[in-house]
Structure formats: structure tokens, C-alpha cells
Amino acid sequence: MPEPILHSKFLSGLPAGRKNGVRHGEKPEKVGEKQFDFTRKIRELRLELEIKKREEERIEKDIAIILEENTIDGGEQNRSFGLAVTRLNNHMLVVENSAKQLTSALKNISVLADTISGRVSALDVAKTRVVGCLQLAGDMRDLGVCAEGIDDAIRSEDFETASQHIHRFLTLDQAVFQIREFKQKDATDSIRHSYEVLSSAKERLSKILKSRLTESVQKGDVAEMQRFIKMFPLIHEPDEGLQRYSVFLNQKIDKLAEDNLAIMKAGGTDDNRRNVLYADTLFMFFEGVAEIIESNLPVLEHSYGLEKLLDFMFILQARIDEFFRRLHEEFDTRRRLSHFNRLVDDVIHQKKAAEAVEDAPDPMEIDAIASEICMMNTSAEMYWRFVSRRIGKNEVIRSPSGDGDDEENEEARQERHRLRKEAKEQKMDQLLNRSRVGTKMQELIGNYCLLEHFYMLKSVQKAIKSDVKEDAGGLTRCGDKKYRKRPLKQEKIC
């Protein structure tokens, strides 16, 4: 009974070397025969154990040989390596101590740097306050000096000195005027008195300058006008000065316009240039206006700056536009420009046949009108180039040296310059292209294109007709044969 139990409990698997319960090369056993050979298996295991023991002995011998070789030849190297490691450890201890000392020193330096930075910041604040106090004290002193000298300058008609006093008063720091609001009488009485004196003097000086400038304009005294015109920017009234000075220049422009229109209505000064009478009139007018501007701009540019010159040109442009309006109306009436435009438009757009149009325009007359319009446009372009070069030039910006705040200030300065430049370009566009001269000149250019189209069309038609007539008249007879007339270079005698 024990044997079946042992077989069922421990020999349920298949032994090695069998496949599907049958060893290779053997015939399958019959059912009920013994399925495992213990003797054979034990023999195989003993053989494998013997092989492993021999391999273990071989490896132990190799290890012993290697250890013996290392003991004999590498002992000195091991001792050197150990000494090197010991020295390295000693050096690392020294480095560690030095690093700790450096850390402690850096902490002390950081504390000292913070202390010094705080003291420097406090000194900087104190310096700023001292500078502000000195500036404020200087402004208060200047305020008193201006208040003491303003009345004497006005009474002696030394308006230049009076204007300088007012200019200094108007450019003082506002902190000076805030002191007069304090409750301490001793500290503020003098400032309050100086402020009231200069404010009253500013009003009186403004009235005197306006009246004197008006009188010099009425008299036509250029020297007096240029003297007083320089003072208005100093009292912060540049627009008032430009308006009053422009009265004189507008009078000169009006006189120039009347003289040129009178010459134009009289037929001009040269009978050979009657076909370009209006172009010559416009050219002479623009030439005179350019001389007026050129002779007066240096004074205005020095006192008012380039930005105000453009505003000044807008004031003068109103009179220039008025002259051009009158010239354009006269040109349209005398040259029958609108009439020819309608006729030419009918012909070009084939509303009517060219032969059916009553009073068909003469191409030569159309060419003369187109040429005169072209000359007028040339004169206007020359005038605009003069204005752009003389008035539209940009200011130069100086770049400060330095970093930090200077770079931020430079960026802000560049941004302000860009905005001013854009505003100036818009004003220039409004002056050059949107004024009456600019818009009417564009209309005339449109008329010129229409007339030029008609002239070229008639020229082509005439050339075609001339070629047809030449071909028809070129048939000759030689005997009983007809020959077409050859070109001159190829013509032969029959």
C-alpha cells in the first residue's frame, strides 16, 4: 500500500527526457508498467555534481593565484594609494574650514554693504532735498529780483528786460508759489507781494506789446515789428504774436495778389506768352510769396521754433487759397475749361460722334490748355517743395549718454519725438493736400488727363487718316500696269 501512495504523491510529473510520457528513442511502455528510472537519474545528477566540484576547485585556485600576485606586487601601490587618500582627506578638511571662514566673511560683508547702502540712500535723499532747497531758495531770490526790476523796466520802455523778468517768473517752480499759501506771515509776505507784482506786470506788459505791435503793423515799421514779435514767446503768448504779425504779412500777400491779378487781366507783359498767361501769373505769385516767407522766417524760427512755423503757415495759407480761387475762376472762364471738358467727355465716352458735336474742340486749342495746366502744376509743386524743405524739416534730438534712467528717459524722449513727428506730418498733409490750392490743383490735373486723352485720340485718328490718304495717292501708272508707290529708299523709275 505505501508504494502506490508514494508514486501518486511525488511522481505525478514527467521525468526529464520524456515527451508526452515517452522517452525519445523508446517505445511507449504499456499501461501499468513503471514510469520513472531512479537509478539512471541519480547517476546523471552525480555526474553533474562532480563537474561542478571540479569547476569550483579551478575557480578557487585562480582566485588564490590572483590574491598571491596582488600581495607580492601591489602592496606598495596599495600603501601609496592609501597615503594619497589620507592626504586628500586632510586637504578637504582644510578646504572645508576655509569655506566656512569665507562664508562668515561674506555674511559680515553683506551686513556692511546693507549698512553702507542704507547710508548712501539716506545721503542721496538728503542731497536731493538740499538741491531742492537750494533751487527753491534761488527761485525765491529770482522772484524778488524780477519783482524789483519789472516796474522800472516797463517805465523805461526796456521791454526786452521786462519780458525776460516775466519769462523767468512764468518758468519758476510751482513750489515757490505754494509757499505763499502758508500761514506764517513773515515767510510768505514777500513771496505773496512779488507774485502779485509780477502777475500784474505780466498783464500790463501783454497789453503794451499788443498795442505797440499793432501800431508798428499799421505803420509798416518792420524793425519795430520784429522787435516786439520776439517778446511774445517770452510772456507765453506765441499764438497772439503770430496772429498779429500775420496781419502785416497777409497785407503784403494781398497786395502781391492784386498786382499779379491786375497784370493778368491786362493781358500780361509779353504778348508772346498770352497762351500761358495764367501759368505765369501763378508762378510770379508763388515766387513773391516764397520771398516774403524766406525774409521773415529767420526771426520767427529763432523766437518761436519750428513747430510754430507750421501754424504760422496755416494763417498765411488762407490768403494764398483766396488768390488761387480767383485765378482758377478766371482761368476757367477765359479758357472755357468747363465747356471743353463737357465736349471732350462726350467725345471720349462716345455719347455723341465726334462729327455730331457742335462747336467741336480744336485739338491744338486743347493742347494749349493742357500745356498751361501742366505749367501751373509745376509752379505749385515747386512752391510745395519750398514749404516742405523750409517749414517741414524735423528737429534734431540729442541722445544723452548713460544707462538705467537715462535709457528710460531716452525711450520716453524718442516716443515723444515720434508722436510730434506724426502730428507734424498730419499738419503738413492738411496744408499741402487739403488746402484750396491742393484740392483745386488736383481737379486741374484731372482735367489735364481728360484733355490729354482727347488730344492723343485726335492725334492718332489724324495719323491714321494721313496714312490712308498717302496710300490712296501713291498709285501710279507705268504702261498698262499699276504699281503702288514704294518708300523713298526703295523707289525706282519704271
Read off the pLDDT of residues 108-124 as tens digits, 9 standing for 90 and up: 999 999 999 989 999 98
Predicted local distance difference test score (pLDDT) of residue 408: 61
Strands 18-19 and 481-484: unpaired
Predicted local distance difference test score (pLDDT) of residue 32: 45
- Is 125 within the bounds of a domain? no
**What is the rounded average pLDDT for all residues in the chain?**
78
Ranges 55-59, 177-181, 289-293, 372-376: which has the least confidence: 177-181
Residue that the C-alpha cell 547702502 belongs to:
117
Q: What is the largest CA-CA distance in the chain?
A: 159
Question: Does pLDDT of 3 surpass 50?
Answer: no
- Is 289 within the bounds of a domain? yes
Q: Dihedrals φ, ψ of 483, to 5°?
A: -120, 140
Read off the pLDDT of residues 154-163 as tens digits, 9 standing for 90 and up: 888 888 888 8
| 403-409-415 Cα angle (round to 5) | 130
Inter-residue contact 151 to 197 (CB < 8 Å): yes
| Nearby residues of 11 by Cβ (< 8 Å), 6 or more positions away | 35, 36
Residue 111 identity: V
Question: Does pLDDT of 210 surpass 60?
Answer: yes
Residue spans of beta strands (DSSP E) within 11-140:
18-19, 22-23
Read off the pLDDT of residues 326-346 as tens digits, 9 standing for 90 and up: 999 999 999 999 888 888 888
Element (H, E) at 345: helix 337-348
Predicted local distance difference test score (pLDDT) of residue 356: 46
Q: Which three cell numbers stand for residue 478?
A: 507705268
The model's pTM is 0.64
Inter-residue contact 241 to 233 (CB < 8 Å): yes
Higher pLDDT among residues 333 and 73, named by residue: 333
Strands 22-23 and 18-19: antiparallel
Question: Does pLDDT of 222 surpass 90?
Answer: no
- Is 214 within the bounds of a domain? no
| 63-88 mean pLDDT | 74
Q: What is the DSSP letter of 398?
A: P
Higher pLDDT among residues 94 and 140, named by residue: 94
Predicted local distance difference test score (pLDDT) of residue 25: 46
| 327-341-453 Cα angle (round to 5) | 110
Predicted local distance difference test score (pLDDT) of residue 79: 74
Question: Does pLDDT of 317 surpass 50?
Answer: yes
Higher pLDDT among residues 23 and 459, named by residue: 459
Phi-psi region of 9 (alpha: psi -120 to 50; beta: other; left: phi over 0): alpha
Q: Which domain holds residue 417?
A: 237-397+409-464
| Closest-CA residue to 453 (of 328, 363, 339) | 363
Q: How far apart are CA 109 and CA 418, in angstroms?
A: 47
Q: How far apart are CA 138 and CA 171, in angstroms?
A: 13
Inter-residue contact 337 to 450 (CB < 8 Å): no
Q: How far apart are CA 48 and CA 55, in angstroms?
A: 11
Question: Does pLDDT of 375 surpass 90?
Answer: yes
Of the pLDDT bands very low, low, confident and very high (cuts 50, 70, 90), residue 258 is very high
| 91-119 mean pLDDT | 91
Per the DSSP assignment, residues forming a β-bridge with 18 are 23
| 153-175 mean pLDDT | 82
- Is 290 within the bounds of a domain? yes
Read off the pLDDT of residues 455-481 as tens digits, 9 standing for 90 and up: 888 888 888 888 776 655 544 433 443
Q: How far is CA 64 from CA 51, 299, 427, in A?
A: 20, 113, 104
| 116-119-124 Cα angle (round to 5) | 125
Q: Which three cell numbers stand for residue 407?
A: 535709457
- Is 344 within the bounds of a domain? yes
Inter-residue contact 219 to 204 (CB < 8 Å): no
Task: Domain count for the chain, please give it.
Answer: 1
Q: How far apart are CA 204 and CA 191, in angstroms?
A: 20
Q: Which three cell numbers stand for residue 60?
A: 578557487
Q: Dihedrals φ, ψ of 271, to 5°?
A: -65, -25
Residue 410 identity: E
Alpha-carbon torsion, ordered 411, 416, 421, 423, to 10 deg = 150
Cα-Cα end-to-end distance for the chain: 154
- Is 252 within the bounds of a domain? yes
- Is 11 within the bounds of a domain? no
- Is 326 within the bounds of a domain? yes
| 221-227-233 Cα angle (round to 5) | 130
Of the pLDDT bands very low, low, confident and very high (cuts 50, 70, 90), residue 70 is low
Predicted local distance difference test score (pLDDT) of residue 179: 57
Read off the pLDDT of residues 392-436 as tens digits, 9 standing for 90 and up: 664 544 444 444 455 667 888 888 888 888 888 888 888 888 888
Element (H, E) at 103: helix 75-155
| 12-16 mean pLDDT | 44
pLDDT > 70: percent of the chain: 77
